[in-house]
Amino acid sequence: MSLVFLHTADWQLGKPFASTRDEAKRHLLMQERIHAVQRMGEAVKASGAAFVVVAGDLFDSSQATKPTVSAACQAIGALKVPVYVIPGNHDHGGPGSVWEQEFFLREKNELAPNLRLLLKPEPLVTQHAILFPAPLLRRHESGDPAAWIRAALEDPALPQGLPRIVLAHGTVQGFGTQEADDEDLPGTANFIDLARLPGEALDYIALGDWHGTKQITDKAWYSGTPEIDRFPRGEGNRPGYLLKVTAGRGTMPVVEELRSGRFEWRELAFRFPDDASLDLLVERLDELLGPRGGEHLLQLRLDGSLGIAAAERLKKILESLESRLLRLKLYDRTTVAPTEEETAALTRRAADPLIVAVAGQLGMQALGEDEDAVLARLALRELYGALAGGAGR
C-alpha cells in the first residue's frame, strides 16, 4: 500500500537577511518564510499527504526569538497533519537549544500539537511509516549522524510492512553544508555516508542542508528550502520547492517537485560596448523582472564603458532599481569616459580658453588605462557635469 507525504527542510525561520539594508524589505523577506510554511497547507490538502517531514533547520538559529517561535508553531499547527522535525546545523539540539526552552514547549503544546520533535537517534514507529531520524545535537558532528541506522535496521521487532524513511541533515557526495553555509567550517562535518546505508532496507532518505532541490540517488533527495533565500549558486541549484513523495515498503519512491517559493532571486551580467547598449540593458531588465519588481532580488554585474551622459542615465536607472526591488546586489565595474562628442563640446568653448586648454590636456591623458588615465576621466566627468549644471541654472 502506497503512502504520500511531503518532504521539506531548511525553512530557517527568523533568518535576518542582514545584507538587505531597507528595514521594511528585510521584514518582507523574513515574513515570507512564514508564508511559505502557511502555503504548505494547500499542498497537504491537494496531495492527500499523511504527514510532513522537516529534515533540519526549521529555525535559522538554535536561539530563535519568541515571535519567530510563536509564528512557526501557528503555521505548523494550521497544517493539521503530523509534522516530524529533526534539528539541523542551524537549530541544532543539545543543552540550551530552542527545543528545550520552556517558551517553545508551551507554544508547541498550545499551537502545534501536531509537531513531533525527533531528538533521539532511534526508530519511531508511526501509524504510516517507520522514521529513522539523524538529528544534529551540535552544529558540527565529526561522525556520520546516520551511522546508527545500519544496526537499527536489523532489529527483527520492526514492523515489516511499513515504509522506512530516513531524516538526515548534512553533506553527501559534495552537496550540503560546505556549499549551503558560508559560516560553516571546511571539512567533513555532518557527513552522511549514503553508501553505508543498505538501500534495499530503506524506502526513502529525506535530506536537508543543501538549499536547492537535488536528487542524489534513486531514494535520496534534498528538498531544498521552500522559499528561496539567496542568489543561485551554480548549475542545478533549484530552491523554492517541496517534494511530494509516494513511497511503499520495498518499492521505488515516486517524487514530485511542488513549486512553493514566491520571491525571485535573479542574476544578470551585462557589458557596455557603447552608450547605445544602455537601451539594451533596460530591455533585458524588463524581460527579466517584468511588472513584479517588488518580488525580485537582483544580482547585477556591469562592465564596459559609458560616456558621461550615459553614465548619469545609468545612475538613475540603478537608483530606481534599488527602490523598486526587494534588493539590488550590484557589482559595477563600468568605466566612465567622455565620448568624442562630449570632449569636443568642452574644447569648443571659445569664450572659455582655460576650460578648452584643461579639457584638451585631460582628454589626452584619459586615453590610457593607468591610474592617471582614470583620474583624467573622472576630472573630465566632473568638469562636464559642472558646466552642464551651470548651463541649466
For residue range 359-389, list pLDDT tens digits in order: 666 656 665 666 666 676 667 666 665 655 5
Same domain, residue pair 26 and 83: yes
Query: What is the model's pLDDT at position 308?
Result: 81
Same domain, residue pair 305 and 345: no
Same domain, residue pair 228 and 331: no
Same domain, residue pair 293 and 311: yes
Please, which residues bridge with residue 303 across strands? 271
Same domain, residue pair 125 and 208: yes
Domain range for 348 is 339-393
The CATH number for 147's domain is 3.60.21.10
Q: Nearest 5°: phi and psi at 63?
A: -120, 50
Query: What is the model's pLDDT at position 337?
Result: 73
- In the chain, how many domains are there? 3
Same domain, residue pair 117 and 181: yes
Query: What is the model's pLDDT at position 268?
Result: 94
Domain boundary (291, 321, 336) is at 336
User: What is the average pLDDT score of the chain?
Assistant: 87
**CB-based contact 359:343 (threshold 8 Å):** yes
What DSSP character marks residue 59? B
Same domain, residue pair 27 and 79: yes
194-221 in b/e form (b: 16+ CB < 10 A) is beebeeeebbbbbbbbbbbbbebeebbb
- Cα–Cα distance between 13 and 104 in angstroms, integer? 14
Same domain, residue pair 214 and 308: no
Segments of the chain scoring below 50 in pLDDT = 178-186, 391-393
Please state whether the predicted TM-score (pTM) of the whole model is above 0.75.
yes
pLDDT in tens, 79-136: 999 999 999 999 999 888 999 999 999 999 999 999 999 999 999 999 999 999 999 9
Query: What is the model's pLDDT at position 338?
Result: 73
Same domain, residue pair 318 and 346: no
Domain boundary (206, 229, 259) is at 259
Domain boundary (287, 311, 336) is at 336
